[in-house]
Structure 1
Amino acid sequence: MFLSWFLIVGVVCSVLLLLGHILSKKSNQLGEEKLSPFECGFNPREGGRVSFSFHFFLVALIFIVFDVELLLLYPYVLVFKGGGGCALWEIILLVSFVVFLSLGYFWEWSVKMLNWKW
């Protein structure tokens, strides 16, 4: 039964992909108008690509990493709040995780990655 459904879904997907490929009109000639950046009908002030601040990228990446690490602490907070007992190894794991998180934060602070002005 599963094999027949798998086969039917595979055939339908293949037919739809083939049909889409046949019916689509591809233009190999990209004109200058299609390659130019569009800015609400006005001529753009700058080029299409604006340089991106690498320091902003680093700060955003650090924020995401620490945000995910703090999100991993949420289940432990629920266990402690619910009054459920925790084993000694769970407490050691939690403390070591927080220490590791703090060491990473202080290292980034010491190499001045968190300073906006270099």
Structure 2
Amino acid sequence: MFLSMFMSMLILIIASVVMFLASLLSKKTMVDREKMSPFECGFDPKSHSRMPFSLRFFLIAIIFLIFDVEIALILPMIMITKFSNLMIWSYTSMFFIFLLLMGLYHEWNQGALEWSE
């Protein structure tokens, strides 16, 4: 018990020190408008350097990643049916699928699944 608490504190301290050093060393010393602006043949840039990004596309990508994690959690449930109690397995499976369906309903109700308006 003491060893695991000591290791947790040590990891926390090391991570904090590394984050502090990274933020300290990553600061740019020169804050000059000319050096910070993009170079375009000596003239000010006429357009933005980045293209606009669709937030809806980002949300759909996040939902897809969550769906992949859900599939990775559902697949082992099929494999353990023969090793576990059928009643407990079915209650657990139904509860998990119910939670997934409630999340899907919430996303649908909030309009996150509609691509165009």
| TM-score under structure 1 length normalisation | 0.55
1:87 CA drift (Å): 4.4
Q: Distance in 1 between matches of 2:98 and 2:48?
A: 46
1:56 CA drift (Å): 0.6
What amino acid is the match of 1:112? Answer: G
Tell me the matched-pair count: 94
Counterparts of 1:4-83 in structure 2, within 5 Å, are 47-80=48-81, 83=82
* Percentage of identical aligned residues: 32
1:66 CA drift (Å): 1.8
Q: Distance in 2 between matches of 1:72 and 1:36?
A: 47
2:109 aligns with: 110
1:88 CA drift (Å): 2.5
Q: Distance in 2 between matches of 1:70 and 1:102?
A: 13
1:91 aligns with: 90
Q: Distance in 2 between matches of 1:78 and 1:85?
A: 10
* Residue 101 (structure 1) aligned with residue 100 (structure 2): yes
1:85 CA drift (Å): 4.2
Q: Which runs of 5+ in 2 are unaligned?
A: 1-28, 31-35, 39-46
1:96 CA drift (Å): 0.3
| TM-score under structure 2 length normalisation | 0.55
**C-alpha root-mean-square deviation of aligned residues, in Å?**
3.7
User: Which has more radius of gyration?
Assistant: 1
| RCO comparison, higher one (Cα < 8 Å, 6+) | 2
Q: Which runs of 5+ in 1 are unaligned?
A: 1-27, 30-34, 38-45
Query: Residues 32-52 of structure 1, C-alpha deviation per residue, up to 9 Å, x if partnerless?
Result: xxx898xxxxxxxx6431121
